[in-house]
């Protein structure tokens, strides 16, 4: 498993580099073929190589992962692949190349994988712009989805994820000379300041509630010109569909405070929340299996970050996330995986698949 992880990590695969993703897809395909004996379907969408294995009807269990990472090509020079003191290091090892290794080793250990579908996407770190529909279609075919993203702290499974919505609020004002006749302008930056405060008011400051974060701001063209245009990007995280709908309506309901200003809301990608009910039965089953092998208790966590598990849960499919590697520092220097937990987690996933193939969720 360590050798397999090393091959994946040393084949860098940033989401933005299609050539690197193509090379990575070949390495992932080789791993899957060697361990399962089956060639994948290669599904290219807008130049992005997604891989799918279907065993038998493939309509019982969906195993979900991704091979793209946030790390640009060349990151290995600063963060080399290595194994030290029981930890494996390298860009993308925790998020989520170790999860892919564990996934394929789990499937290889089954008496028969018939009923299993494996989908490895190439754009999860971007919010699944090309694989979104594919993931949801596969989710609707199966009784349960298991997501091999890295675990929460201490190896806990992820039983709930906040939904994510992205927006851009654009303010249209009117330019004027800042020295000669500023009163003839409509200052888009001032209007934007009013709107940023209105956005912050939608966030009640609690970790388990909706968060609304104004982030990237731009505006104006010259220091001596009343800005005619300004904008802010908005990151929204919500625990429930009702909260997602509330914040969505509130953002679209914003009204200008300055005479002559106009607001425009541009919607970006959105993920539905993975609410606790989507994972409850699968989590109980996972704890039961872990207890039987001496690996439990696993623990559970609700997290703010999104994954493709949001999409499968949003499609109405029971979903359990965080089944991948135990480790930490995702997307950051020191990203690592606890090596001796890799076979333990693979055995847990294999046990879940075996039970689900027989019993259903």
Tell me which residues are annotated as active site: 68, 124
What are the φ/ψ torsions at residue 55 (nearest 5 degrees)? Answer: -110, 120
SS3 (DSSP) at 126: helix
Q: How many CB atoms lie within 10 A of CB 189?
A: 17
In angstroms, the CA 103 to CA 90 distance is 19
- For the chain, the farthest-separated pair of C-alpha atoms sits apart, in whole angstroms, at 81
If you write DSSP's letter for every residue of 283-323 in order, what string do you get? Answer: HHHHHHHHHHHT-----EEEESS--HHHHHHHTT--EEB--
CA distances from 24 to 68, 109, 310 (A): 8, 24, 24
DSSP secondary structure of 133-144: HHHHHHHHHSSE
Q: Are 12 and 75 in contact (CB under 8 A)?
A: yes
Which residues, 6+ apart, have CB-to-CB distance to 84 below 8 Å? none
Alpha carbon distance 287, 300 (integer Å) = 10
Backbone angles phi, psi at 173, to 5 degrees: -115, -140
Question: Quick check: 236 and 247 in contact, CB under 8 A?
Answer: yes
The answer for residues whose C-beta is within 8 angstroms of residue 318's C-beta and 6 or more apart is 143, 144, 145, 278, 279, 281, 282, 361
* Cα–Cα nearest to 98, from 355, 329, 361: 329
């Amino acid at each position: 498993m360590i050798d397999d992880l090393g091959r994946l990590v040393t084949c860098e695969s940033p989401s933005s580099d299609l050539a690197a993703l193509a090379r990575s897809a070949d390495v992932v395909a080789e791993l899957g073929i060697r361990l399962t004996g089956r060639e994948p379907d290669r599904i290219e969408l807008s130049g992005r190589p997604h891989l799918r294995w279907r065993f038998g009807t493939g309509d019982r269990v969906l195993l979900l992962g991704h091979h793209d990472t946030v790390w640009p090509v060349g990151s290995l020079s600063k963060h080399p692949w290595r194994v030290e003191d029981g930890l494996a290091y390298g860009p993308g090892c925790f998020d989520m190349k170790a999860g892919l290794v564990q996934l394929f080793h789990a499937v290889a250990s089954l008496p028969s994988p018939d009923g299993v579908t494996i989908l490895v996407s190439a754009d999860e770190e971007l919010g699944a712009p090309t694989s979104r529909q594919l993931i949801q279609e596969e989710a609707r075919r199966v009784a349960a989805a298991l997501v091999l993203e890295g675990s929460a702290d201490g190896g806990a499974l992820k039983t709930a994820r906040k939904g994510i919505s992205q927006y851009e609020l654009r303010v249209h004002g009117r330019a004027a000379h800042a020295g000669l006749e500023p009163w003839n302008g409509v200052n888009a930056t001032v209007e934007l300041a009013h709107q940023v405060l209105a956005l912050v008011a939608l966030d009640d400051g609690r970790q388990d509630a909706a968060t609304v974060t104004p982030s990237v701001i731009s505006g104006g063209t010259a220091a001596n010109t009343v800005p005619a245009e300004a904008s802010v990007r908005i990151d929204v995280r919500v625990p429930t569909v009702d909260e997602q709908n509330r914040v969505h309506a509130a953002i679209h309901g914003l009204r200008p405070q300055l005479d002559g200003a106009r607001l425009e809301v541009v919607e970006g990608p959105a993920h539905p929340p993975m609410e606790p009910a989507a994972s409850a039965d699968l989590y109980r089953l996972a704890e039961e299996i872990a207890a039987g092998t001496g690996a439990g208790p696993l623990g559970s966590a609700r997290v703010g970050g999104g994954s493709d598990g949001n999409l499968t849960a949003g499609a109405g499919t029971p979903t359990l996330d965080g089944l991948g590697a135990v480790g930490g520092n995702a997307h950051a220097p020191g990203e690592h995986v606890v090596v001796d937990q890799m076979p333990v987690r693979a055995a847990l996933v294999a046990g879940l698949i075996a039970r689900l193939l027989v019993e259903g969720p």
